[in-house]
């Protein structure tokens, strides 16, 4: 393996565990980036010729190298993948007891560039980097051995692949993959679109937050905004909500939400209705029409996808939470979520305070949530801690 040399002092962040190495940290006099092939494995060396670990390189990317091992001269191969994926699966099986989870969470599982979601005997894989793309066949082979799946789908159609100079594609890498999948989460049964759905088909990261949300829903009227396949609302149905409204910009998503709600209907029933439209505009229309709810979930897509979009994105979070507080009954519950990596939890809290101030409400934080344990956070990489939520009680009047 070739050596990739760092500039003086640039190994400090890596020594405490960070896995990314940026192009301006490379000593290009000793190791010109143009001499490496995308995905090539290297030993990372400090300016004092001390090994830092093994990484794969992409000279065309701002993140020039991603460390996958603390040991030097360690190839990224089937043996290493088997060890990492095996330990990741061991953790999930111990936590959940049923085979519905995120099996691998990239840097959080020391597998940069690799995400794997498991739906019983169907696996969905996303590869976002040239280094992991180079061992794609090994990834598939190891997953076949570990999970004995009926099918493996590669959903490599993410925009992040553009940054690595990789083509976007979707393909069945093994077996047969259905157009939609069945899954169980928190005892709630779901059907979700797989080949045409968002990302890997489901958002396991909200599992714990959905369970917390359901605790407030028995006998209540509930709004699930940005609902996708109805995950929060169906947890509410299962918990005994009296009525659930699903809101989304996609009719397909609303169709899945309705199917899932019907599937989980309790014996004493629950009134279900759907609202099609852009959530921000439609929330305003619901407010203007006089609709009110006891419990509301706000789970939008990332409003801040890049740092330069921070101020506009923060304004969007403030607006959507203001609308939620206007729509919720006095003493009601709002769960507000953000998957924007560039919005810290304290700033989402600030958006909630801003919304409360604008509506003349007082709020109490009941639960502060984050991504589920099948999305482990790398403590040296705040980038891996992207999901945050606040469950607040909204008090109006004096």
Q: Which residues are catalytic?
A: 339
User: What is the rounded CA–CA span in Å between residue 328 and residue 343?
Assistant: 24
> Helix, strand, coil: what percent of the chain each, to 5?
35, 30, 35
**372 in helix, strand or coil?**
coil
CA 3 vs. chain centroid, Å, equals: 34
- Please compute Rg for the chain using Cα positions: 23
Are 116 and 109 in contact, with CB atoms under 8 Å apart?
no
Q: Which residues pair with 153 in a beta bridge?
A: 124, 172
For residue 217, what are the CA distances in angstroms to 158, 178, 184, 275, 375? Answer: 35, 33, 20, 20, 26
DSSP letter assigned to residue 270: -
How many residues does this entry show for the chain? 398
Q: Give the list of residues 6+ apart from residue 371 with CB closer than 8 angstroms, or none.
A: 205, 206, 377, 385, 386, 387
């Amino acid at each position: 393996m070739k050596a990739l040399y760092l500039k003086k002092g640039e190994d400090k962040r890596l020594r405490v565990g960070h896995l990314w190495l940026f192009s301006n940290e490379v000593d290009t006099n000793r190791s010109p980036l143009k001499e490496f092939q995308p995905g090539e494995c290297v030993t990372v060396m400090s300016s004092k010729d001390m090994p830092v670990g093994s990484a794969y390189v992409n000279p065309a990317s701002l993140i020039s190298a991603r460390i996958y091992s603390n040991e030097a001269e360690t190839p990224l191969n089937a043996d290493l993948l088997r060890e990492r994926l095996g330990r990741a699966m061991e953790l999930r099986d111990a936590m959940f007891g049923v085979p519905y989870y995120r099996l691998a969470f990239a840097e959080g599982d020391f597998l940069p560039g690799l995400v794997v979601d498991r739906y019983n005997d169907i696996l969905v894989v996303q590869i976002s980097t040239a280094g992991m793309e180079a061992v794609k066949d090994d990834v598939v082979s190891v997953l076949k051995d570990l999970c004995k799946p009926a099918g493996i789908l590669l959903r490599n159609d993410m925009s992040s692949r553009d940054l690595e100079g990789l083509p976007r594609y979707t393909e069945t890498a093994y077996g047969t993959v259905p157009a939609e999948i069945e899954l169980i989460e928190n005892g709630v049964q779901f059907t979700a679109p797989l080949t045409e759905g968002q990302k890997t088909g489901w958002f396991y990261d909200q599992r714990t937050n959905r369970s917390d949300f359901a605790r407030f829903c028995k006998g209540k009227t509930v709004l699930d905004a940005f609902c996708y396949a109805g995950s929060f609302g169906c947890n509410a149905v299962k918990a005994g909500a009296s009525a659930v409204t699903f809101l989304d910009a996609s009719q397909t998503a609303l169709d899945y939400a309705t199917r899932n709600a019907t599937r989980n209907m309790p014996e004493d029933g629950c009134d279900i209705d759907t609202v099609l439209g852009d959530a921000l505009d439609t929330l305003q229309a619901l407010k203007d029409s006089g609709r009110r709810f006891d419990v509301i979930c706000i789970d939008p897509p990332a409003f801040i996808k890049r740092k330069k979009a921070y101020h506009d994105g923060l304004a969007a979070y403030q607006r959507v939470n203001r609308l939620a507080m206007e729509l919720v009954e006095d003493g009601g519950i709002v769960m507000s979520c953000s998957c924007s990596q560039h919005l810290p939890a304290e700033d989402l809290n600030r958006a909630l305070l801003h919304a409360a101030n604008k509506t003349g409400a007082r709020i109490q934080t009941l639960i502060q949530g984050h991504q589920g344990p099948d999305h482990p956070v790398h403590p040296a990489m705040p980038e891996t801690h992207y999901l945050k939520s606040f469950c607040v009680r909204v008090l109006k009047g004096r």
